[in-house]
Amino acid sequence: MKLERPRGTRDFLPEEMKKRREMEKILRRIAESYGYGEIATPTFEHVELFTLKSGESIVEEMYVFKDKSGRELALRPELTAPVMRLYVNSCEVMPKPLRFYYFANCFRYERPQKGRYREFWQFGVELIGSDSHLADAEVIMLAYEMLKALKVEFKLEIGHVGIMRDVLKGIENSDRIMRLIDKNQIDELEKFMNDCKVDEKVKDRVFRLIELKGDASILEKVNFAEKEIERLKRIAEILDAAKVEYEFDLGIVRGLDYYTGVVFECYAPNLGAQKQICGGGSYELASLFGGQKTPATGFAIGFDRVYEVCNVDGEKIRTVFVVAFEDTYLDALKIAKMLRNSGFVAVIDVMERNLKKQLSYANDIKAEFAVLVGKNELEEGKVSVKDLKSGQQIDVPIKELTNFLSSRTV
């Protein structure tokens, strides 16, 4: 019986992994250049960690199981909650702010579709301990720089959950209204507010905010939520100085209470319906997990979606195929090792094939050169180097081999 991989998962071949590792390397380098250090958390956590953060309904979207002692556990559906659990467990007394980054797989039990999988990867950062607009600006700049470095075409939009909350202050079912706005379910939103008999002035202000998008000048059109608007203006000054391209969208909100202030999203227009590739904002979760109330700001990049529109390639490493014969195999091993130590990929035959088949395989793996280790050449301290693109072949002293290949290889 032929077994297939589980629905919603993928296998990655070497070429895909090369690009993924190159992307990962770029993201790590930029995060560390800002002073962020890598952390890792368990693949599974107690279910309560996620229900406390996102509500009981999230159980339907998770892989939940009981261990042999009857404890209810879940494969992590995201990484912010585990990071803040780690912070409460181990890091509360550390000097603030703390700068963490992570890269890991997550799991959600949902209908697989283009750009959405049951196992997926997130790269994210959390800046913990600062309630300043400077923290918001740093995290936004970091996300922007990462996506730019990956050569992704995207649009950055920034909002503030406090502005919409100011509008809905004192309104019954305001949490439900925020969730509908967050999901962009505008028709259902209007019907729900009509059913709840929300004041017409409030409704008008809600829909005006949803449509209010543009540069910093749109902030002048908001004559309430003064503290929140001032914060956005100060962030705009920093982003403008850093030459970050962005747009304010005051309709961006979050449907969960732990978000406290600035929120932002990045969209890649070439991805169609699943176009969001990054989301972030300021929040407070530590107190929910038994710690002291602690401000934090962070974001997560949808690594798999970014892969689809990323224009970086895997690092180019020169590949050489070492052709060995029965009576020269041990010498060929030494030459292959010498090439590897000099930064080349050196592949040697392990199938005991003849010369013609070895050269055919060298072409199959896209090697640039074949180094033929023949007995006669070895006696003269040489090997024969064949350019597999041009077909040109030349004898080269072994002691000059690496320099010769380096000078001939792009």
Residue 410 has a pLDDT of 52
Domain assignment of residue 8, yes or no: no
Q: What is the CATH number of the domain that holds 338?
A: 3.40.50.800
Domain range enclosing 375:
319-408
Beta bridge partners of 61: none
Kindly give the interhelix angle for 186-195 and 174-182, rounded to the nearest 10 degrees: 170
Those residues with Cβ within 8 angstroms of residue 274's Cβ, 6 or more apart along the chain or in another chain: 113, 114, 115, 116, 305
**Number of domains observed in the structure of the chain:** 2
373 in the same domain as 260: no
Query: How much of the chain exceeds pLDDT 70, in percent?
Result: 99
134 in the same domain as 29: yes
339 in the same domain as 284: no
Residue 409 has a pLDDT of 55
242 in the same domain as 123: yes
Q: What is the 3-state secondary structure (H, E, C) of 130-157?
A: CCCHHHHHHHHHHHHHHHHHCCCCCEEE
How far apart (Å, rounded) are the C-alpha atoms in residues 82 and 272? 30
341 in the same domain as 296: no
Residues 69-74 have a mean pLDDT of 96
279 in the same domain as 161: yes
What is the bridge-based pairing of β-strands 319-323 and 393-397?
A: unpaired
**pLDDT reading at 202 higher than 90:** no
Residue 364 has a pLDDT of 95
- Tokens (6 digits) for 361: 């395989």
Question: What would the pLDDT profile of 313-349 be if each residue is shown by its tens digit?
Answer: 767 788 999 999 989 999 999 999 999 999 999 999 9
196 in the same domain as 158: yes
**pLDDT reading at 134 higher than 60:** yes
341 in the same domain as 297: no
333 in the same domain as 248: no
381 in the same domain as 264: no
Neighbours of 59 (CB within 10 A): 16
pLDDT band at 160 (very low <50, low <70, confident <90, very high): very high
